């Protein structure tokens, strides 16, 4: 029995949304924009704020996940604008498929890093996945705060360890190092596990330290948060390959060592999740509250450090069709208290949703 109170807004998705990248007010008090999809299949977005108030987003787009030439694409929303730019290809390679972009903005150097995975492409859409061949690549853009047009460097391989995958946000340690959560895919689900990489000297091409998560067979795509600014404690939430529960682990030494993961009260459908800490100190997590489908997509709020999740509200829910997909969310809270979320919209495009505040999650 799951111990949370569900506050459902039974919101049916629009029949014919406009995929034009325009951010619009909608009737439930939120805002939404459907990105302009460059190719047929779109998935695994990542949204990131810049100090000047701009937002940037990346996702992968192509014929179909795992196929040749699936690209990482990039879009930008200028401060005080309601129009996302047309997505541009920033990383693409024939014979390979790109996935899982992750942004990291380094405020010390005003550089924006874009990490992503790259694996050998399937021979056909019915072919087997080749996750065991994946590596992690990186692009960077300098002087982004004052740049009218962000330009990325050519992509370069960063982690050659086969099967390396990322998904969620980099955290800056109290040692001023970069903590980058990754996982190792390929093989059986039982053989997959998670790791926290540490970049000590801020050079992504130098050696990284490894801080393995304990007993994370089946547990992947860690989302790491710091519950209290300046405190050594970190918390990680994991996707469960067995499609049972979201799992949670703790670190009391700023990510060097971790407790054994334990299951939370939240279900997981073996799909992506992301958590964040709100300005109030409460935790928020976006996920599919089911053990099967990628519908609905919901946001839950915890007021007791992740022990229970008292409030849940749907972001997307469609009742009249099978096979719809709302998945792979990413989120952050801006300085005004608004919560920005991006996620896959039925593989047709990516959606940007803006929640006015955390009280919205609590509303009946």
pLDDT tens digit string along 299-325? 999 999 999 999 999 999 998 777 899
Integer CA distances (angstroms), 327 to 38, 108, 161, 169, 287, in order? 19, 33, 27, 17, 7
Q: Do 210 and 77 share a domain, yes or no? A: yes
Of 265, 290, 315, the one marking the end of a domain is 290
Which residues form the domain of 297?
1-34+291-364
Secondary structure class of 228 (helix, strand, coil): coil
Q: Do 166 and 267 share a domain, yes or no? A: yes
**Residue 2: is its pLDDT beyond 60?**
no
Which are the contacts of 148, defined by CB distance < 8 A and separation ≥ 6?
Answer: none
Which are the contacts of 201, defined by CB distance < 8 A and separation ≥ 6?
Answer: none
Report pLDDT digits (tens) over 108-147: 999 999 999 999 999 887 776 789 999 999 999 999 998 8
Q: Do 278 and 313 share a domain, yes or no? A: no
**Residue 150: is its pLDDT beyond 80?**
yes
Of 272, 290, 308, the one marking the end of a domain is 290
**Which string of b and e fits 193-210 if b means at least 16 CB within 10 Å?**
bbbbbbbeeeebeeebee
CATH number for the domain harbouring residue 211? 2.120.10.10
Contact present, 271 and 327 (Cβ < 8 Å): yes
Q: Do 174 and 266 share a domain, yes or no? A: yes
Based on the number of CB atoms within 10 Å of its own CB, is 55 exposed (0-12), middle (13-18) or buried (19 or more)?
buried
Q: How many CB atoms lie within 10 A of CB 279?
A: 12
Q: Do 347 and 210 share a domain, yes or no? A: no
Report pLDDT digits (tens) over 233-270: 999 999 999 999 999 999 999 999 999 999 999 999 99
Q: Do 228 and 284 share a domain, yes or no? A: yes
Q: Do 280 and 295 share a domain, yes or no? A: no
Of 255, 275, 290, the one marking the end of a domain is 290
Contact present, 180 and 170 (Cβ < 8 Å): yes
What whole-number distance in Å separates Cα of residue 348 and Cα of residue 325? Answer: 10
Dihedral of the alpha carbons of 119, 125, 128, 129, in degrees to the nearest 10: 30
Q: How far is CA 28 from the centre of its chain?
A: 24
Which of 110, 117, 116, 107 has its CA nearest to residue 172?
A: 107
Q: Do 215 and 77 share a domain, yes or no? A: yes
Domain count, the chain: 2
Q: Do 338 and 219 share a domain, yes or no? A: no
Q: Do 42 and 28 share a domain, yes or no? A: no
Q: Do 100 and 232 share a domain, yes or no? A: yes
pTM, two decimal places = 0.94
Q: Do 25 and 92 share a domain, yes or no? A: no
Report pLDDT digits (tens) over 34-93: 999 999 999 999 999 999 999 999 999 999 999 999 999 999 999 999 999 999 999 999
């Amino acid at each position: 029995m799951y111990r949370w109170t569900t506050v459902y807004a039974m919101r049916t998705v629009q029949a014919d949304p406009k995929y034009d990248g325009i951010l619009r007010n909608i009737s439930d008090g939120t805002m939404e924009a459907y990105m302009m999809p460059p190719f047929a299949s779109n998935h695994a977005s990542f949204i990131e704020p810049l100090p000047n108030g701009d937002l940037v987003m990346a996702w992968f787009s192509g014929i179909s996940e795992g196929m040749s030439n699936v690209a990482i694409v990039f879009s930008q929303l200028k401060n005080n604008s309601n129009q996302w730019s047309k997505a541009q290809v920033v990383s693409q390679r024939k014979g390979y498929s790109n996935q899982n972009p992750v942004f990291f903005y380094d405020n010390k150097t005003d550089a924006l890093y874009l990490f992503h995975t790259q694996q050998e492409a399937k021979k056909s859409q019915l072919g087997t996945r080749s996750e065991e061949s994946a590596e992690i690549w990186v692009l960077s853009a300098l002087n982004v705060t004052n740049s009218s047009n962000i330009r990325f460097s050519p992509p370069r391989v960063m982690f050659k360890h086969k099967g390396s995958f990322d998904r969620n946000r980099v955290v800056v340690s109290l040692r001023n190092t970069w903590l980058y959560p990754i996982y190792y895919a390929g093989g059986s689900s039982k053989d997959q596990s998670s790791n926290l990489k540490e970049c000590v000297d801020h050079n992504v091409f130098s050696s990284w330290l490894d801080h393995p998560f304990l007993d994370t067979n089946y547990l992947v795509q860690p989302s790491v948060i710091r519950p209290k600014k300046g405190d050594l404690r970190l918390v990680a939430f994991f996707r469960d390959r067995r499609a049972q529960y979201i799992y949670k682990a703790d670190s009391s030494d700023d990510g060097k060592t971790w407790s054994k993961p334990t299951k939370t009260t939240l279900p997981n459908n073996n799909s992506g999740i992301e958590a964040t800490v709100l300005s109030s100190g409460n935790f928020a997590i976006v996920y599919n509250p089911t053990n099967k489908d990628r519908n609905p997509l919901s946001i839950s709020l915890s007021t007791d450090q992740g022990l229970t999740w008292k409030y849940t509200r749907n972001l997307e829910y469609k009742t009249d069709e099978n096979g719809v997909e709302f998945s792979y969310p990413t989120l952050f809270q801006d300085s005004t208290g608004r919560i920005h979320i991006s996620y896959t919209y039925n593989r047709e495009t990516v959606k940007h949703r803006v929640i006015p505040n955390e009280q919205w999650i609590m509303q009946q």
